[in-house]
Amino acid sequence: MPNPDQDRQRPGSGPASAAPLRILLLAPAASAHTRRWADDLATRGHTVSVCSWHDPGPRPADWRVASAPAAGSWWPWRAARAAGWLRREARRVRPDIIHVHSLGVHGAMSLALPAQTAPCLITPWGSELRAATRHPGRALVAWLTLHRAAWVVPTSHEVAGHVEHRYRIPRSRITTLSWGVPDALLDARNNADPGPVRARYGIPADATVALSIRSTAEVYRTHEIAAAFTRAARVRSDLFLVVLAGHRPADAKARRAQHQYLARVRQRMAEQADRTVLIEEPLSQAEMFSLMRASHFAISVPRSDQRSSSVLEAAAAGCRLLLSDIPPYRELAADGLHTDPLPDPLEATLTDALTHAQPLTADDRQANRELIDRTERGSVKIAQLEQLYRDLTRPST
């Protein structure tokens, strides 16, 4: 493969061709991020195929999805089967570009493909980079995958710096590109009556609503959110907490761990049973945005993250953002977004925020919405990704 530092241009630097591309995504097919980008790329006329380690879930209409064979079998046996399966899929698809999402199992899968198959991009997920700092095997997979890629596309500047300094990837091969917010959400009316949405989920019409916008999981510290709410609710009678069960992991071991964690969260929420609700069913993006617009506070407090699309959507919906004090969220504040940082110890700082915070003023809500509309419009982000694909597939001169 030609040296991309010498032969490739930065995304958006060259003319775009009208010819559709054959795009192969190595990514978890059940992920909302994967499905959204596959949908958007297919809408733009490209032929999109997704190869996923896990069961893909519902089959899409506009792009093809396949999952690795021998699910549930002995891991080394399945990995060997998957390597041959993926090479056959690549020969069938004949991709112009390969886009790998995460440096975990899908990064490892990408190493089974011959280097000359097609130019490869990597979108590293923060969770996999965190795991790699604690596990030499994962770190080796991350190193090999990143160094084999033509381009690396993180969603935050912090992760871009981590990839550059820890894995020695040249800055000239890294483009920071967030997921953005879909145009349909940005263009939706923000003055819609929240009453029907609140009634649907059993939220009092006059409550001050705090919404935990991430799935219930230890990584998102949902139990600490529930504990902080319980303490704040003792002195603030208008508060109401909404928690999302959210994404169900495809891996059986991860599902069991989530089930156990959910049980702990339910037990904590039971202390304020009449002022909390746990939404069990997964919500579509439109349903989630409607719930955000019916809420006053949006809570996202992981110990590490990238540029979260959920946080961006909550800002566009007009929520006050109660966020952990971590570099990617500081980036949002530096960009001009109105946020409330919550340093550790989280339970104490979140309790204080929930006790005293008021909904954003109309001016602050409008400022956040305008910033997101100006900098995070989804159609612009997908066009930038498409241009990056074209730059990487353009013949070298």
Query: Alpha carbon 246 to chain centroid distance?
Result: 13
pLDDT tens across 105-133, in order? 999 999 999 999 999 999 998 888 888 88
DSSP bridge partners of 300: 323
H/E stretch holding 126 reads: helix 126-132
**From CA 81, how far away is CA 327, in angstroms rounded?**
40
Contact by Cβ (8 Å): 310, 180 = no
The beta strands (E) that lie in 60-216 are given as 64-67, 97-101, 120-123, 151-152, 208-215
pTM of the model: 0.90
Residues in the chain: 397
As to burial, measured by CB atoms within 10 angstroms (0-12 exposed, 13-18 middle, 19+ buried), residue 13 is: exposed
Q: How many CB atoms lie within 10 A of CB 41?
A: 23
Query: What does residue 171 show for φ and ψ, rounded to 5 degrees?
Result: -55, -30
Query: Alpha carbon 117 to chain centroid distance?
Result: 27
Closest CA relative to residue 175, chosen from 29, 9, 350, 371: 9
Tokens linked to 195: 């009453």
**From CA 25, how far away is CA 122, in angstroms rounded?**
10
The predicted structure's pLDDT at residue 72: 83
Q: Which amino acid is at 57?
A: G
Calculated CA dihedral for residues 323, 324, 330, 332, nearest 10 degrees: -30
Buried b (16+ CB within 10 A) or exposed e, 287-315: ebbbbbbbbbbbbbbbebbbbbbbbbbbb
The predicted structure's pLDDT at residue 369: 96
* C-alpha distances in Å from residue 346, one per residue of 63, 80, 324: 42, 43, 8
- Secondary structure (DSSP) of 218-252: GGGTHHHHHHHHHHHHTT-TTEEEEEE--PPPSSH
* C-alpha distances in Å from residue 352, one per residue of 65, 135, 276, 333, 341: 46, 36, 18, 20, 12
**From CA 67, how far away is CA 65, in angstroms rounded?**
7
**From CA 95, how far away is CA 112, in angstroms rounded?**
15
The predicted structure's pLDDT at residue 13: 42
Dmax over CA atoms of the chain, in Å, equals: 68
- What is the Cα Rg of the chain in Å? 22
Tokens linked to 163: 């990839």
Tokens linked to 160: 């871009």
**From CA 341, how far away is CA 294, in angstroms rounded?**
22
Which residues neighbour 161 within 8 Å (Cβ) at sequence distance 6 or greater?
none
Per-residue pLDDT of the chain (397 residues; tens, 9 = 90+): 333 333 334 444 444 447 999 999 999 998 888 999 999 999 999 999 999 998 877 788 899 999 999 988 888 899 999 999 999 999 999 999 999 998 999 999 999 999 999 999 999 988 888 888 889 999 999 999 999 999 999 999 999 999 999 999 999 999 999 999 999 999 986 667 899 999 999 999 999 999 999 999 999 999 999 999 999 999 999 999 999 998 877 777 888 889 999 999 999 999 999 999 999 998 999 999 999 999 999 999 999 898 999 999 999 999 999 999 999 999 999 999 999 999 999 999 999 999 999 999 999 999 999 999 999 999 999 999 999 999 999 876 5
